[in-house]
Amino acid sequence: MRGSTLQHISRVVVVLLSSVLSLPIALAQDAVRLGELESPVDRQALKAQETAGRDRLKILLENPVGTDIQLLRVNPDVVNEATDKLSVPVADGRWVSFQLRNYTAPTSPGNKGVENAAVKHIPAAYWFGDISPDDKGRAPAVPQSAFDTTSFIFLARRGESLRGQMVVNGRLYLLEDVGNGQHGLMATNTALELPCEVLENEPEAQQNAAKKVPVKSGTEAIHNISVLLVTTPATNQMINPYAMDIMTDEIELYNRLNNQGQGLSLNLIVVHKFVSGAKDSVFNGGKKILSDFRNSETEATKKVSELRDKHRADVVIVGARNVSSKEVTYQGARKNTAFFVFNITTPQSFLHGIGHLLGVRHVWKDGDLDFDPSYQHGYLTPVYEGKRYASIGFDPKDCTDANNCQYLYRYSTPKENYMYWPFGDAVHGDEIRRLNERAVEVENFYEGL
């Protein structure tokens, strides 16, 4: 009798102990919260705070696509390789969980990054993940293991500050440090995006046509495109965040999204960062900035041209302030036109804009001219269950019903499906083929020189 009671007690102790012991494991599997919500404040009230001197709100308020902003007290420690699962609030009050795909430590020693004062740049730690399987609304026929381009998050940590972009069911949110110990998570409306300003290359004489370089075998070869990153006096004076950091983060996100197993392996590699004295004012904005760099019209841009040759940078990306479009660049740039004027107020446009420079056009519509090659366009699917899905090269202005087009944040290819149908069209929408072919040309701009 006594023996069986003891046995029972010991069993209870074992059960209790094992549940206590398993507790830390259960906690470790729970999502870590990005931070705590502050009381809601409307956009107008935030605008009034900015006018009254809270300058750090500008980074969000100046962005043309911004809508509601939720203030948060973030825990910057969540940007860590030990964070497997991260949960973030969205506009409807839900918290959405993301699973870690990729963590990158800062390039310089120390977990928090060390500032490089000369170019105003702080290396960041990056946390990149897509929606957690428990939180899906994942599309059918997308394997659990595949990266989900409808819902993902990209965070950059510099000290106690976070910056980031989050996409939930195609809706983009931007995260910035707005000072006073607060961060702002801003919902966006991509229908408010600025237009593109994309120039065509001048016709080339046949004998001067860009030499054809042999295409590397297979699509798996990684194409490394070297980038010279440049600021102007107007963007170099930015602090919190630095213009150089904004551009670096976009390039980092671009590289992450390009390497998710959809047949494109394209990396932008920043080979040099430079603080230029190039003109960037209301009288010398947009196309004039591009022209100044492209033609080395001033001493400041001559210097950039020398640096480009010295560092053999295939592409020059200029972070500028006086730009009234998403970007100013050339369509399918050649070596002498490979300049990209990055609009610092709408950094999320970089994903789309750099596609133009590399050779992607907006979606092809019935009756449009065929370019050579004809497949160099973005893609918009037919209506599937009441919705159409768009690739990165798609321009929101081509959406006939703004509520009905959802970005997938991936390039088109007829070789991959979305839902049960090919996400691309071999005749008019194969951005991955176009980019793989163009990347070989662009990475060889300095070949043999």
Which residues here bind Zn ion, judged by CB under 5 A? 196, 395
Cα 264 to Cα 259, 306, 409, 444, distances in angstroms: 6, 31, 13, 17
CB of 415: closest distance to Zn ion in angstroms? 24
CB of 414: closest distance to Zn ion in angstroms? 22
CB of 193: closest distance to Zn ion in angstroms? 9
Question: What is d(CA 245, CA 126) in angstroms, rounded to the nearest whole number?
Answer: 12
Beta-carbon count within 10 A of 244 CB? 24
Please tell me what DSSP assigns to residue 447.
T
**What are the backbone angles phi and psi of residue 164, rounded to the nearest 5°?**
-175, 170
CB of 326: closest distance to Zn ion in angstroms? 6
Question: What is d(CA 348, CA 253) in angstroms, rounded to the nearest whole number?
Answer: 10
Tokens 């750099």 found at = 354
Nearest to 129 by CA among 89, 178, 91, 85: 85
Nearer to Zn ion, 147 or 330 (CB): 330
**What are the backbone angles phi and psi of residue 319, rounded to the nearest 5°?**
-80, 115
Strands 32-33 and 85-89: parallel
Nearer to Zn ion, 165 or 190 (CB): 190
Nearer to Zn ion, 76 or 353 (CB): 353
CB of 395: closest distance to Zn ion in angstroms? 5
Nearer to Zn ion, 396 or 422 (CB): 396
Distance of CA 372 to the CA centre of its chain: 28
Nearer to Zn ion, 129 or 355 (CB): 355
CB of 196: closest distance to Zn ion in angstroms? 3
Question: Per the structure block, which two tokens stand in for 75?
Answer: 């825990």
Nearer to Zn ion, 161 or 329 (CB): 329
Which neighbouring-strand residues pair with 120?
Answer: none
Question: What is d(CA 313, CA 309) in angstroms, rounded to the nearest whole number?
Answer: 7
Maximal C-alpha separation, the chain: 102
Strands 85-89 and 95-104: antiparallel
CB of 400: closest distance to Zn ion in angstroms? 17
CB of 394: closest distance to Zn ion in angstroms? 9
First-to-final CA distance of the chain:
92
Nearer to Zn ion, 280 or 395 (CB): 395
Nearer to Zn ion, 71 or 196 (CB): 196
Are 268 and 342 contacting, i.e. CB atoms less than 8 angstroms apart? no
CB of 118: closest distance to Zn ion in angstroms? 34
CB of 197: closest distance to Zn ion in angstroms? 9
Residue 396, sorted as left (phi over 0), alpha (psi -120 to 50) or beta, turns out to be alpha
Nearer to Zn ion, 46 or 196 (CB): 196
Question: What is d(CA 57, CA 48) in angstroms, rounded to the nearest whole number?
Answer: 10
Nearer to Zn ion, 110 or 195 (CB): 195
Tell me how many degrees the CA angle 164-61-237 measures, rounded to the nearest 5.
Answer: 80
Which neighbouring-strand residues pair with 272?
Answer: 228
Strands 266-275 and 223-231: parallel
CB of 34: closest distance to Zn ion in angstroms? 31
Residue nearest to Zn ion (CB): 196
Tokens 């209506």 found at = 383
Nearer to Zn ion, 131 or 196 (CB): 196
Tell me how many degrees the CA angle 274-279-281 measures, rounded to the nearest 5.
Answer: 125
